[in-house]
Structure 1
């Protein structure tokens, strides 16, 4: 009987503390540090955010799984962006914050100049600009004519021609779809980076047909813009769809009954990135492949200083 009493846990023992999620702990640290940086008490922040002081204390301690609206209110009370609360990379140091503040509310033209200046700062000044005019990269959605017009342009200029998608598949040893299905998007982007780096290193004079989604990766797109003269081949959505189908690829239609709307949404989401190109040509504005090629040839030769 005595043994049983000795082994019985005390009724006064504190319950075991549930494990705290590392993200919530880090979030709480950022809230507390921001509050300290602003010189605000917990009570003052709670009042400004219209949440209870206890709720804010739990958030700072890493046990408060707050809704996104509460986090937005706390960010507003601390006079910071929500990204700073969540730990965006541009909030990771004072220098990042000061650079971000300088760029905030700038126009697209100002931001473009800033990006180009930073690219020159961190790379050999002028070297990329001199080489990039003999490396021509065609960007845009599938069906815009990158492969067909790219091959013709390369032949006309006496340059090599490569399709980056084929290079990616050679690196991976399988198709693009298999890369995504087996290894995921991150692996695909790594292969894409390797293929682009090799193309830049090997070919001083080349026309590159790029995958439509390359612009979705900022690092790879920056590399392309730095080392290649880029041309956005555009087309009307219906022409995109018809040309892909004419090549025997029915996936755009088979994938979804709302395929045209999906294509329009993708185009809308990427257009701001495609627009960073040095030139653009809408192939739907020309009646035939031959007319599109002639227009492309003239624009490129004029832009890079080769006689038409």
Structure 2
């Protein structure tokens, strides 16, 4: 096996080769889901291990499908009982007959069908989340995307053009917590940060009938917060190339990506891949890498004014 594709840090070549031969497909898939979830939340393996109170090596083994044989016993029991692992483990989506029937109806449906179902449920429950007609669209415009996509720069320009308040949700989170975002995450952890994030969005929705909101890049990691955003805002996903994301973050004064540029770029690409499906729930998409700032802003201005039926 080439050393360039070694799995977890800390494994020897012999151990890696032996584990590669013994990998179970279920454990491999489980590890891939763990990696994807970690990337979506923008967490390093070390940070995730600390939050989970497990060793970094143990988490690495999990991510690469090594060990963790006990879960295979649960899988065998679930198969013997002809139920899903979710039902066996007591997941909420298997907690009642109605949940189970709904799960069965949705299983193996394609993404288009699932989106239509989600939008229909949002309409039925009065929580929104679907593509509203132009007359029904919210005048709260939320910009989503990874850090460095241009949310703050373009958001301020758009707010000035529309004569709307500009709300940078990261600053509102810090006001709620009374400390910086890095301090929130360092002192209280990711879960506390996500709670502050949702509270900040809830307050922005209550206070501002019209606004341009620049959202934190990881907001889409929390399904409840994303549903809230889709229900109460007109959303635009600002896309950029990984290279532009990196360049803009460094230009903002954050030199951390330079510590290990290759690893930082790989992490960034992983985060983008993990979040893309969630960013894509926005009603509109704009590529901020394809043109300079002025024409990019004009394209955003045109998208939003047409969406809100405002004069050009």
Q: TM-score per shorter chain, which class?
A: 0.7 to 0.9
Question: What's the offset of the Cα at 1:252?
Answer: 2.6
Larger of the two Rg values belongs to structure = 1
Cα distance per residue 1:34-92 (max 9 Å; x no partner) = xxxxxxxxxxxxxxxxxxxxxxxxxxxxxxx9711121122122222112112211011
The corresponding residue for 1:77 is 80
TM-score (norm 2): 0.74
Q: Is 1:293 the equivalent of 2:300?
A: no
Number of equivalent positions: 243
Alignment of 1:135-284 (within 5 A): 135-254=140-259, 258-284=263-289
Counterpart position of 1:116: 119
Asked if the contact 1:131–1:204 (Cα under 8 Å) also holds between the matched residues in 2, the reply is no
Query: TM-score, normalising length from structure 1?
Result: 0.75
- The residue number in structure 2 matching 1:101 is 104
Measure how far apart 1:135 and its partner are. 0.6
Instruction: Measure, in 2, the Cα distance between the counterparts of 1:194 and 1:281.
Output: 27
Offset at residue 124 of structure 1 (A)? 6.8
Change (3 A) 1:244 1:124: closer
Deviates more, 1:251-260 or 1:114-123: 251-260
Task: Give 5+ residue unaligned stretches, structure 1.
Answer: 1-64
The question of whether the paired residues in 1 share the 8 Å contact of 2:137 and 2:307 is answered with no
Q: Is the 8 A contact 1:131 1:227 kept in 2?
A: no
**Aligned-partner Cα distance in 2 for 1:284–1:210:** 19
Change (3 A) 1:223 1:255: farther
Q: Distance in 1 between matches of 2:171 and 2:259?
A: 23
Q: How far does residue 132 in structure 1 lie from its aligned partner after superposition? A: 4.3
Shift of 1:275: 0.5
Task: Provide the secondary structure at the position in 1 that maps to 2:259.
Answer: helix
Cα deviation, residue 251, structure 1: 2.3
Moved >4 Å (runs of 4+):
128-132
Unaligned 5+ residue runs, structure 2?
Answer: 1-67
